[in-house]
């Protein structure tokens, strides 16, 4: 009986997993947990503080699924109990008949066979009882899954300082950076200073370290050497949630969250219908809402119930709307327009810069069509600062910059 129990517990564990897998909520549960662990989505999940909302969604769906699964299990328990009662009855009658036959001398091979099969029945039924007693094991599995999920934590050291209300400048001093688990230094002794409200274009060839610098400025990584500070506060000393509240961004590999349009836009912030509609319009998605099939509660994923997918261009606009909704004091645009031609990119950047006069804006581009709108250009060359000046000055003082500009110039005309 003991080895049998163990094997049933194992089967139970598997059937539990299958039941969870098969449940219609399973895909959502998987998706929510993957959101917190997926590298691609991690940037925006962290920046826009989406943790609490995702966990809340996970827990409520989890409770629902648990209820559903337990309901099925209870049904199974009732069925198998009935089975046992029935079998005992049959066994009892069989036994009576068997002994009676022996007594009257009418025992035949057929009766013996029947008796054996009744015993087989009994043992199966008993096994079922064991299986059902492992319902408790079910709950333990749930609890384990749940705590594994809650136990997920970032190995990030958080600061206690709040982000300065009105900061004067952002300073980067002797910053070098090597990605974790890598031997190659990507940024080498980078130093520069940006005043509040300045618009800075970060330019350089692919692989020169532009995105890496942006990730460091947003504290997705800490510098290997040197430091980044806002006024006199080291970025590491500023509370990460407060820091992220003051930043907003659109990335080249922006997230396409399998959530509703509304959730995609408001992320971790509270819902304000007018503001959502405004940013959707500003991002160029006004038409999308006029479309009958789409509203703020539409699920943006084809594989989810009543969901629909968007085109690449529309997703890009959703990412921009999300960025606008977060409304940080410091804005980062890391080539979200890479899929567009140089002229459209230039137009988008121009509009963005004009409409956000007070914000400090870093915009990354490997194309120089938009640099004219920047107060300053930070020119990165293989992880080093090759120049940091106005576009006009750089054209005069930096031959490499001039060469790059001249090479690309024809594309903008």
Binding site for ligand ADP (CB under 6 A): 179, 182, 186, 204, 206-212
Q: Report, in Å, the least distance between residue 189 CB and Mg ion.
A: 20
In the bound state with ligand ADP, the residue whose beta carbon lies nearer, of 65 and 212, is 212
DSSP string, 329-351: SEEEEESTTTTS-HHHHHHHHHH
Q: Which partner in Mg ion, ligand ADP, none is near 207 (CB below 5 to 8 A by kind)? A: ligand ADP
CB of 131 to Mg ion, least distance (A): 55
What does the angle CA 5 – CA 6 – CA 7 come to, to the nearest 5 degrees?
90
The minimum distance between CB 237 and ligand ADP, in angstroms, equals 25
Nearer to ligand ADP, 212 or 346 (CB): 212
Pick 105 or 180: Cβ nearer ligand ADP: 180
CB of 177 to ligand ADP, least distance (A): 9
**C-alpha span between 62 and 284 (Å, rounded):** 36
* Binding-site partner at residue 367 among Mg ion, ligand ADP, none, CB < 5 to 8 Å by type: none
Closest CB to ligand ADP among residues 153, 182? 182
Closer to Mg ion by CB, 131 or 345: give it: 345
Q: Which string of DSSP letters, residue by residue, matches 221-276?
A: S--SEEEEEETTEEGGGB-HHHHHHTEEEEETT----SSBHHHHHHTTSPP-HHHH
CA distance 312 to 236: 35
Cβ 272 to Mg ion shortest distance, Å: 32
Q: What are phi and psi of 146, to 5 degrees?
A: -60, -45
Closest to Mg ion by CB, 208 vs 298, is: 208
Q: How far is the CB of 45 from ligand ADP (least distance, A)?
A: 16
Give dist(CA 36, CA 50) in Å, integer.
9
- Closest to 169 (Cα-Cα) out of 231, 240, 225, 88: 231
Name the residue with tokens 């408790």. Answer: 136
Residue 208: how many CB atoms within 10 A of its CB? 21
CB of 217 to ligand ADP, least distance (A): 12
Distance CA 194, CA 362 (A): 10
Site for Mg ion in 195-234 (CB under 5 A): 210-211
Number of residues that bind Mg ion (CB under 5 A): 2
**159 or 226: whose CB is closer to ligand ADP?**
226
Residue 229 pairs with which residues in a beta bridge?
Answer: 171, 234
Report the partner that residue 369 touches, choosing among Mg ion, ligand ADP, none (CB closer than 5 to 8 A by kind): none
Give me the residue whose beta carbon is nearest to Mg ion: 211
**216 three-state secondary structure:** helix
Min dist. Cβ of residue 377 to ligand ADP (A): 14
Which residue, 209 or 387, has its beta carbon nearer to ligand ADP?
209
- Output phi, psi for 310, to 5 deg: -110, 165
Complex with Mg ion: residue 210 or 236, whichever CB lies closer: 210
Q: Name all contacts of 84-88 with Cβ < 8 Å and 24+ positions apart.
A: 84/125, 84/126, 84/128, 84/129, 87/118, 87/121, 87/122, 87/125, 88/122
Q: Each residue of 357-386: b (16+ CB within 10 Å) or e?
A: eebbbbbbbbbbbbbebbebbbbbbebebb
Residue 120 binds which of Mg ion, ligand ADP, none (CB < 5-8 A, kind-dependent):
none
- Nearest distance, CB of residue 371 and Mg ion, angstroms: 16
Rounded to whole angstroms, the Cα distance separating 136 from 373 reads 65
386: contact with Mg ion by CB under 5 A: no
Which one-letter DSSP state was computed for residue 163?
Answer: P
Positions that interact with Mg ion (CB under 5 A): 210-211
């Amino acid at each position: 009986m003991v080895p049998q129990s163990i094997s049933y517990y194992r089967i139970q564990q598997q059937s539990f997993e299958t039941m969870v897998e098969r449940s219609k909520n399973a895909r959502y549960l998987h998706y929510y947990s993957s959101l917190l662990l997926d590298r691609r989505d991690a940037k925006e999940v962290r920046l826009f503080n989406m943790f609490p909302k995702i966990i809340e969604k996970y827990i409520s769906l989890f409770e629902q699924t648990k209820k559903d699964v337990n309901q099925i299990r209870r049904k199974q328990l009732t069925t198998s109990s009935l089975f046992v009662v029935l079998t005992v009855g049959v066994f009892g009658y069989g036994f009576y008949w068997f002994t009676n036959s022996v007594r009257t001398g009418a025992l035949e091979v057929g009766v013996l066979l029947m008796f054996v099969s009744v015993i087989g029945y009994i043992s199966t039924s008993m096994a079922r009882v064991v299986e059902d007693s492992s319902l408790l094991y079910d709950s333990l599995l749930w609890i384990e899954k749940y705590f594994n999920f809650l136990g997920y934590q970032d190995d990030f050291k958080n600061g206690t300082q709040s982000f300065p209300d009105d900061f004067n400048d952002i300073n980067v001093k002797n910053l070098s950076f090597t990605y974790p688990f890598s031997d190659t230094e990507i940024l080498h002794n980078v130093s520069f200073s940006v005043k509040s409200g300045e618009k800075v274009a970060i330019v350089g060839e692919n692989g020169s370290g532009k995105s890496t610098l942006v990730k460091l400025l947003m504290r997705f990584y800490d510098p290997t050497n040197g430091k980044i500070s806002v006024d006199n506060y080291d970025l590491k000393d500023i509370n990460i949630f407060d820091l992220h509240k003051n930043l907003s961004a659109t990335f080249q590999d922006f997230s396409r969250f399998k959530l509703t349009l509304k959730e995609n836009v408001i992320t971790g912030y509270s819902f304000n219908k007018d503001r959502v509609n405004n940013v959707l319009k500003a991002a160029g998605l006004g038409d999308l809402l006029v479309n009958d099939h789409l509203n703020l509660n539409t699920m943006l994923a084809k594989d989810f119930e009543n969901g629909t997918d968007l085109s690449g261009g529309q997703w890009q606009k959703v990412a921009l709307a999300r960025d606008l909704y977060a409304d940080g004091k410091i804005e980062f645009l890391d080539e979200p327009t890479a899929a567009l031609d140089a002229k459209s990119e230039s137009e988008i950047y121009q509009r963005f810069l004009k409409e956000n006069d007070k914000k400090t804006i870093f915009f990354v581009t490997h194309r120089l069509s938009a640099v004219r709108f920047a107060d300053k250009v930070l020119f990165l060359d293989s992880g080093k600062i090759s120049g940091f000046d106005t576009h006009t000055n750089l054209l005069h003082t930096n031959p490499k910059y001039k060469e790059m500009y001249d090479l690309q110039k024809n594309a903008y005309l």
